[in-house]
Structure 1
Amino acid sequence: MNKRTIWISYDLGVRGDYESLYAWLDSHDAKECGDSVAVLAYEYQGSLVKMLKEELGRTITTDKRTRLYVIYREPSTKKMKGNFIFGGRRTPPWTGYSSRDSETVDDEI
């Protein structure tokens, strides 16, 4: 059995199964790390991501709005890594806020 510190970011949508997720986080003695982020020590065998997805898939009701992201240190490379367990990336709310100068050349018509 392996044990690894992981961070989980979650967004289950308005009608998501937060009660089941919170029960799972509580049973793993997770610590709160801000809005919708938790850290915990996770025991697993084989692939961390595969086992986590299977366990959470049995625990919470998911739908197309469910997004769960795990961050962990990859054992072989010792580098931080992140994976979506459920869902995927969306356009971030900060898109368009920076002022990026672009050279625009307007030619006479």
Structure 2
Amino acid sequence: MEKAVWMSFDLGVRGDYEGLYAWLDSKKAIECGDSLAFFKYDVSEDIVESLEKEIKENVEINKKTRIYVIFRDAKTKKMKGKFILGSRKTAPWAGYSGSQEQTEEEEL
């Protein structure tokens, strides 16, 4: 079954962009802005596990590799997002609104 997938990627300065771009090209992905792609993915099992496995087979992964996918969950029919490689980091806009709680550090 084909599933629509949006993929955001950050491979760092020395990441394997050629490997990822070749893989995205093989999926006929379309560009949706800096480091964002959309493609249809044919999958019959867990989409996250399948994407992670396929990307690891085609792209050289390092500790800075971050890939986030957005897709419709087959069971709940709701949109979901998940890091398949890497994890979330502090947003560059964190603190700009001035409404964030300030925590006071104390010496123990």
Report the equivalent of 1:3. Answer: 2
Q: Which residue of 1 aligns with 2:94?
A: 95
Equivalent residue number for residue 107 of structure 1: none
Deviation at 1:48, TM superposition (A): 0.6
Q: In structure 2, do the counterparts of structure 1 residues 101 and 44 end up closer, same or farther at CA, with 3 Å as the change threshold?
A: closer
The count of aligned residue pairs is 101
CA RMSD of aligned residues (A): 1.1
Identify the residue that residue 58 of structure 1 maps to in structure 2: 57
Q: TM-score normalised to the size of structure 1?
A: 0.89
Q: Distance in 2 between matches of 1:62 and 1:20?
A: 10
Shift of 1:96: 1.1
The residue aligned with 1:24 is 23
Structure 1 gap segments, 5+ residues each:
103-109
* 1: CA distance, partners of 2:72 / 2:50: 16
Q: CA 1:97–1:76 in structure 2 vs 1: closer, same or farther (change >3 Å)?
A: same
Aligned-pair CA distance for 1:68: 0.3
Going from structure 1 to structure 2, the CA distance change for 1:101 and 1:79 (only over 3 Å counts) comes to closer
Deviations along 1:40-62, one digit per CA (max 9) or x if unpaired, are 00011211110110000000001
Query: How far did 1:75 drift?
Result: 1.4
Q: Which runs of 5+ in 2 are unaligned?
A: 102-108
Query: 2:50 aligns to what SS in structure 1?
Result: helix
Q: CA deviation at 1:101?
A: 7.6
Paired AA for residue 86 in structure 1: L
Per-residue Cα deviation, 1:47-91 (whole angstroms, up to 9, x for no partner): 111011000000000111000001000111111001111000000
Q: Give the share of equivalent positions with the same residue, in percent.
A: 51
- Find runs of 4+ consecutive structure 1 residues off by over 3 angstroms: none
